């Protein structure tokens, strides 16, 4: 009988799965800790007195922390990621609070004070941060996709490599913010405030809304060649780069900064040239090259002058070296000097045609005809560029 009882007891122990029970107990303990902290401090809504007790990685999901003071607390770290999904942190004080890699998706942070908060790598997808104060907050690598940041103060915030695609930053203050390498694709930056200290190197501006923003103040800290046109994981996205150049060109043109707008227009045309080559549109490709050389795509009148001088001097050298011109009147003596060749080349380019000197038959007449044609084209281009720039 005793032997039977021992066998039955051992068999029963093997059928018990202890793991779920232990896991469930730990989960209950963690939730209980948060509830205990909230109960103990609900009178003054101040958790700073528990600074030495609160550990990283607790689950604060849906916690009602409106107006609470969590300043300076270390709530989340890379090894212990706290959960604040759907937490109500409206008007909460989170000054210098450590929330590295914390889960803050869909959290309500309207008007929260996050001055100097450490939010590196935090997940803030869909969080509501309207009117939040994020001055000098550290948000490197944070995911803020689709976040509502209307009117938020991000002065001096470090947003290097942050994901802000689809975020609403309308009216946000970004003075002195570091946005190097940030993804701003489809971000609403309408009426956002930038200054000359805002860093915008390597930023993805694809399909951004820039109307009314003061991004013009930070133009010196922007790339002249956007990231899509540079090597990114061994790929270059030229169609996307062209759209960004058009966006920036139009923005700076509306702001009356025509020289800066012209720089992005040149980049747009250069990108278009590469696309023409990839698509084997050879007619457009060679026309693009010609316009780049003779006029800088209508932005560099000096190019037309330099090209004109090259053609005039080059043709004069050919006439002089190969004795390619002659006098039309037998009474006019022609000694074949370079000065006379230069004179003939100049009047031919300008299509004046005085008639005292003419090109000799054959190859020299082809040169003279080409020079005359280029004179008409380059003069027209120069007048067009000059008129366009002076009437802006």
Average pLDDT over residues 26-34: 61
**Structural domain range at position 363:** 301-390
The CA distance from 128 to 90, in Å, is 9
Q: Is residue 162 part of a domain?
A: no
What pLDDT does residue 233 have?
Answer: 56
pLDDT at 119 over 60: yes
- Would 341 be classed as within a structural domain? yes
Which domain CATH number covers 331?
1.10.287.70
3-state secondary structure at position 358: strand
Q: Which percentage of the chain shows pLDDT scores above 90?
A: 72
Least confident stretch, 2-11, 140-149, 245-254? 2-11
Give the β-pairing of 325-327 and 357-359.
antiparallel
Which helix (H) or strand (E) segment holds residue 75: the answer is strand 74-76
Worst-scoring range by mean pLDDT, 137-141, 209-213, 324-328?
324-328
Q: What is the pLDDT of residue 117?
A: 95
8 Å CB contact between 63 and 86: no
Number of domains in the chain: 1
Residue 21 has pLDDT above 90, yes or no: no
Does residue 370 fall inside a structural domain? yes
Q: Is 118 helix (H, G, I), strand (E, B) or coil?
A: strand
Q: Is 88 helix (H, G, I), strand (E, B) or coil?
A: strand
**Is residue 306 assigned to a domain?**
yes
In a domain, 354, yes or no: yes
Tell me if 34 sits within 8 A of 59, measured CB to CB: yes
pLDDT for 3: 44
SS3 state of residue 359: strand
On whether residue 97 sits in a domain, the answer given is no
Residue 190 banded pLDDT, cuts 50, 70, 90: very high
Residue 260 lies in a domain: no
Supply the pLDDT for residue 331: 52
State mean pLDDT over 75-94: 93
The structure tokens listed for 152 are 């938020």
Give this prediction's pTM: 0.81
Instruction: Output the DSSP codes for 188-221.
Output: B-TT-B--TT-BBTT-B-TT-B-TT--GGGGGGG
pLDDT at 199: 96
Structure tokens at 43: 């009178």
Q: Report the distance separating Cα 146 and Cα 378, nearest Å.
A: 51
Q: Which of 74-83, 207-216, 355-364 reaches the highest mean pLDDT? A: 207-216
Domain membership flag for residue 358: yes
Give the pLDDT confidence score for residue 53 in this predicted structure. Answer: 87
Q: What is the pLDDT of residue 231?
A: 67
The average confidence (pLDDT) of the chain is: 88
d(C-alpha 55, C-alpha 331), whole Å: 107
Q: What is the pLDDT of residues 326-380, one digit of tens each?
A: 887 755 555 578 888 999 999 999 988 787 888 988 899 999 999 999 999 999 9
The CB density around residue 166, as the number of other CB atoms within 10 Å, is: 18
Are 77 and 103 within 8 A, CB to CB? no
């Amino acid at each position: 009988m005793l032997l039977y009882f021992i066998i039955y007891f051992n068999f029963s122990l093997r059928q018990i799965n202890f793991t779920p029970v232990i896991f469930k107990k730990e989960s209950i303990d963690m939730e209980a800790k948060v509830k205990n902290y909230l109960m103990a401090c609900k009178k003054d809504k101040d958790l700073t007195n528990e600074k030495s007790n609160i550990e990283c990685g607790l689950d604060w999901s849906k916690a009602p922390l409106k107006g609470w003071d969590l300043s300076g607390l270390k709530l989340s770290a890379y090894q212990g990621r706290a959960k604040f999904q759907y937490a109500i942190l409206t008007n909460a004080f989170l000054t210098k609070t450590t929330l590295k890699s914390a889960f803050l998706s869909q959290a309500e942070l309207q008007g929260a004070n996050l001055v100097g908060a450490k939010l590196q790598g935090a997940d803030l997808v869909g969080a509501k941060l309207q009117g939040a104060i994020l001055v000098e907050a550290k948000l490197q690598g944070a995911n803020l996709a689709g976040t509502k940041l209307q009117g938020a103060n991000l002065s001096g915030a470090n947003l290097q490599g942050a994901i802000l695609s689809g975020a609403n930053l309308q009216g946000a203050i970004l003075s002195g913010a570091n946005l190097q390498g940030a993804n701003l694709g489809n971000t609403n930056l309408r009426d956002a405030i930038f200054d000359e200290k805002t860093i915008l190197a390597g930023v993805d501006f694809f399909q951004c809304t820039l109307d009314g923003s003061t991004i013009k103040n930070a133009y010196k800290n922007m790339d002249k060649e956007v990231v899509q046109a540079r090597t990114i994981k061994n790929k270059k996205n030229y169609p996307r780069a062209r759209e960004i150049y058009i966006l920036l060109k139009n923005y700076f043109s509306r702001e009356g900064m025509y020289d800066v707008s012209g720089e992005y227009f040149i980049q747009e045309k250069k990108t278009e040239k590469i696309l023409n080559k990839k698509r084997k549109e050879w007619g457009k490709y060679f026309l693009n090259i010609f316009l780049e050389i003779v006029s800088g795509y209508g932005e560099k009148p000096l190019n037309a002058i330099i090209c004109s001088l090259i053609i005039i001097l080059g043709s004069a050298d050919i006439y002089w070296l190969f004795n390619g011109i002659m006098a039309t009147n037998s009474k006019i003596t022609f000694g074949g000097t370079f000065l006379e060749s230069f004179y003939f080349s100049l009047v031919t380019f300008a299509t004046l045609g005085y008639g005292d000197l003419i090109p000799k038959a054959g190859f020299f007449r082809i040169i003279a005809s080409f020079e005359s044609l280029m004179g008409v084209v380059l003069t027209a281009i120069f007048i067009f560029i000059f008129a366009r720039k002076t009437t802006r």
